[in-house]
């Protein structure tokens, strides 16, 4: 999602929660699973993003929400299989070499991950809101890789069938595809020196949308990779009234509107971009890591849109 706040707070509405799909189902009902070129752990099933907590700035609780142990029993009890945890690591690491991550914060993340694993949930450890890297990559690449080496070292002994690493949320700005591919290669190489087992999740540029997958390259020889994308189309519906968007789309847009067929086709066409990318690359698993509509859209339209995207 674009800068600032998440579309959904934790379990705001369970039926509208953000859904994770390790094998994305296309509009015709076909499922494209991992091909012979990947050993990525599968499947992740249904999941939820736990936003606004460990990604808050300057610290957890600053945006009004803190992770509580009881949340994970609720999530598991509602039939979810995976939690994606957005984490602002960059706010808790030294600004200069060796870029050490604060021990107190590391222990807190470990505690939260442990709570999820106690409930038999899969966990995606994500690097979120590293905004500086989108404008000044050269100044932050070394720090980015150093943080991931620490994260890999800290979590390498956890079950690789349950814990996943997502390199960076929604690459955009001056982080072009060529630069991002280069950084992916360097970062994965650094992680693999420490941890050869955990699946690494990658997204394309252009805010992590399906169109941003074009040109994304999985490093040669990397067999434990998964690809993710985010879906917020049509943007004028999902982000109507969003305070962090300038200009903010006006209120009152409904979905599907007056032309059901056209509205549904537009969604299928965009999701098919991800499907086509997977097929072109030997069936690499595709993860729909975020989708949702902001609460200022009318509830029935949100239900309509979410139900259609999810199926």
Q: Are 172 and 158 in contact (CB under 8 A)?
A: no
pLDDT, position 311: 80
Q: Could you give the CA distance from residue 75 to residue 11 in angstroms, rounded to a whole number?
A: 8
Inter-helix orientation angle 177-192/137-155, to 10°: 30
Q: How many domains does the chain have?
A: 1
pLDDT, position 93: 98
Q: Could you give the CA distance from residue 264 to residue 293 in angstroms, rounded to a whole number?
A: 16
Query: Residue 200 maps to which CATH number?
Result: 3.20.20.80
Cα within 13 Å of Cα(86), Cβ side:
30
Q: Are 16 and 303 in contact (CB under 8 A)?
A: yes
- Residue 222 above 60 pLDDT? yes
Residue 47 lies in a domain: yes
The domain of 129 spans 14-310
pTM: 0.87
- For residues 283-309, give the mean pLDDT: 93
Q: Could you give the CA distance from residue 105 to residue 85 in angstroms, rounded to a whole number?
A: 14
Q: Could you give the CA distance from residue 25 to residue 308 in angstroms, rounded to a whole number?
A: 12
Residue 9 lies in a domain: no
Of 32-46, 136-150, 272-286, where does mean pLDDT reach its minimum? Answer: 32-46
Q: Are 137 and 181 in contact (CB under 8 A)?
A: no
Residue 260 lies in a domain: yes
- Residue 2 above 90 pLDDT? no
Residue 6 lies in a domain: no
Q: Give the contacts of 119 (CB within 8 A, at least 6 positions apart).
A: 72, 73, 75, 76
Residue 294 lies in a domain: yes
The residue assigned the tokens 């969003």 is: 242
With bands split at pLDDT 50, 70 and 90, how would you rate the model's confidence at 11? very low
Beta bridge pairs of residue 127: 87
- Residue 15 above 50 pLDDT? no
pLDDT, position 43: 72
With bands split at pLDDT 50, 70 and 90, how would you rate the model's confidence at 135? very high
Give 3-state DSSP helix, strand, coil % of the chain, rounded to 5.
35, 15, 50
Q: Could you give the CA distance from residue 274 to residue 184 in angstroms, rounded to a whole number?
A: 19
Question: What pLDDT digit, counting tens, does each position of 109-130 carry?
Answer: 999 999 999 999 999 999 999 9
- For residues 272-294, give the mean pLDDT: 92
Distinct helix (H) and strand (E) counts, the chain: 7, 7
With bands split at pLDDT 50, 70 and 90, how would you rate the model's confidence at 18? very low
The residue assigned the tokens 């009902």 is: 29
Residue 100 lies in a domain: yes
Q: Could you give the CA distance from residue 94 to residue 97 in angstroms, rounded to a whole number?
A: 7
> Reduced to 3 states, what is the DSSP secondary structure of residue 99?
coil
Q: Could you give the CA distance from residue 145 to residue 153 in angstroms, rounded to a whole number?
A: 12
Residue 26 lies in a domain: yes
- For residues 45-68, give the mean pLDDT: 94
Name the strand (E) or helix (H) holding 238.
Answer: helix 235-238
Beta bridge pairs of residue 83: 48, 123
Which residue in 119, 103, 194 sits closest to 157, CA to CA?
A: 194
Residue 3 lies in a domain: no
pLDDT, position 21: 34
């Amino acid at each position: 999602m674009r800068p600032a706040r998440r579309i959904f707070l934790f379990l705001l509405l369970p039926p509208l929660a953000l859904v994770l799909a390790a094998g994305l189902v296309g509009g015709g009902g076909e499922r494209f699973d991992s091909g012979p070129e990947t050993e990525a752990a599968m499947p992740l099933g249904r999941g939820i993003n736990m936003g606004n907590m460990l990604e808050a700035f300057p610290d957890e609780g600053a945006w009004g929400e803190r992770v509580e142990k009881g949340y994970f029993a609720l999530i598991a009890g509602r039939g979810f299989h995976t939690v994606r945890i957005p984490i602002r690591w960059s706010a808790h690491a030294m600004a200069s070499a060796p870029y050490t991550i604060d021990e107190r914060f590391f222990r807190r993340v470990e505690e939260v991950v442990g709570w999820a694993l106690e409930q038999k949930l899969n966990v995606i450890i994500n690097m979120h809101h590293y905004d500086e890297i989108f404008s000044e990559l050269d100044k932050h690449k070394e720090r980015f890789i150093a943080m991931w080496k620490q994260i890999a070292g800290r979590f390498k002994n956890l079950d690789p069938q349950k814990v996943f690493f997502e390199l960076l949320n929604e690459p955009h700005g001056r982080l072009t595809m060529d630069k991002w591919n280069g950084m992916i290669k360097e970062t994965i190489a650094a992680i693999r020196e420490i941890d050869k087992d955990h699946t690494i999740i990658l997204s394309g540029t252009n805010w992590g949308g399906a169109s941003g997958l074009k040109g994304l390259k999985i490093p040669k020889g990397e067999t434990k990779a998964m690809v993710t994308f985010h879906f917020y189309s049509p943007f004028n519906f999902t982000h109507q009234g969003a305070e962090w968007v300038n200009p903010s789309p006006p209120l009152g847009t409904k979905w599907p509107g007056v032309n059901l067929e056209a509205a549904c086709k537009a969604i299928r066409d965009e999701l098919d971009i991800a499907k086509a990318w997977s097929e072109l690359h030997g069936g690499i698993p595709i993860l729909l890591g975020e989708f949702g509509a902001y609460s200022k859209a009318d509830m029935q339209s949100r239900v309509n849109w979410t139900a259609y995207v999810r199926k």
